[in-house]
Amino acid sequence: MKALARRGRVEVRLAGIGGQGIVLAGHILALGAFYDGRWVICTQAYSARVRGAPVEADVIIADRRVPFPFVRRPDILVALAEPAFRFLELLAEGALVLTDASLARHVEGVGARKLVLPIFEKAREVGSPALANMVALGALVASTGLVKPGSVEKAISESVRPDFLEADLRAFRAGLELVGA
């Protein structure tokens, strides 16, 4: 991705609401980048409410040690719920916004690059709306090349309970296919 080549680092913010698996997706992205031999920082912010409150997972992937552990100007925003769009004003120049087709109205007129896909629909097709986080992760990986798909699959295998593993891998691969990888 150009931002990585330019600065030697990419700031990613995944955002949505509690119950969407945002924190898990951020953890998996960070672990996959680690397996690729990159320097990584992953932080999360979420409410005490279990479901429905805003949630963010920030991942910084870099060529060298990361001196400041917080995302300030996201190069990539993965937005899976309406509260996520409050971060649009923070985006770096040339940033990418990845979101679901049902949320497209929130990115109309936004100067960033946009990737609007049927993420929730694809998640339902592969088994459950709860798999949208993995579909989005697959689309992110396919559209940016930020992390190798095999590294993310390894991270999924080590991060997801065995009874959910097959479904999460299937959803991740469906996300890759949404972008044509």
Integer Cα distance of 160 and 179 in angstroms: 24
What is the rounded CA–CA span in Å between residue 16 and residue 141?
Answer: 18
pLDDT at 180: 81
Q: Are 25 and 40 contacting, i.e. CB atoms less than 8 angstroms apart? A: no
Q: State the average pLDDT over residues 6-16.
A: 88
pLDDT value, residue 46: 75
pTM recorded for the entire structure: 0.93
| pLDDT reported for residue 48 | 64
Residue 152, exposed/middle/buried by CB under 10 A (0-12, 13-18, 19+)? buried
Per-residue pLDDT band for 158 (boundaries 50, 70, 90) equals very high
Contact 53, 18 (CB under 8 A): yes
Q: What is the pLDDT of residue 7?
A: 65
Model confidence at 6, pLDDT cuts 50, 70, 90, reads: very low
Run of H or E residues at 173? helix 162-179
2 pLDDT more than 90: no
Q: Over the chain, what is the mean pLDDT? A: 93
pLDDT the model gives residue 50: 61
Q: What is the pLDDT of residues 67-84, one digit of tens each?
A: 888 899 999 999 999 999
Locate all alpha helices (DSSP H) within the chain, ordered by sequence. Answer: 2-7, 22-35, 119-126, 132-144, 149-159, 162-179
- Rounded to whole angstroms, the maximal C-alpha distance in the chain is 42
pLDDT tens digits, 28-56: 999 999 999 999 999 998 776 666 789 99
Q: In whole angstroms, what is the distance from residue 76 CA to residue 61 CA?
A: 11
User: Which residue in 90, 94, 96 sits closest to 140, CA to CA?
Assistant: 96
Over residues 165-174, the pLDDT tens digits come to: 999 999 999 9
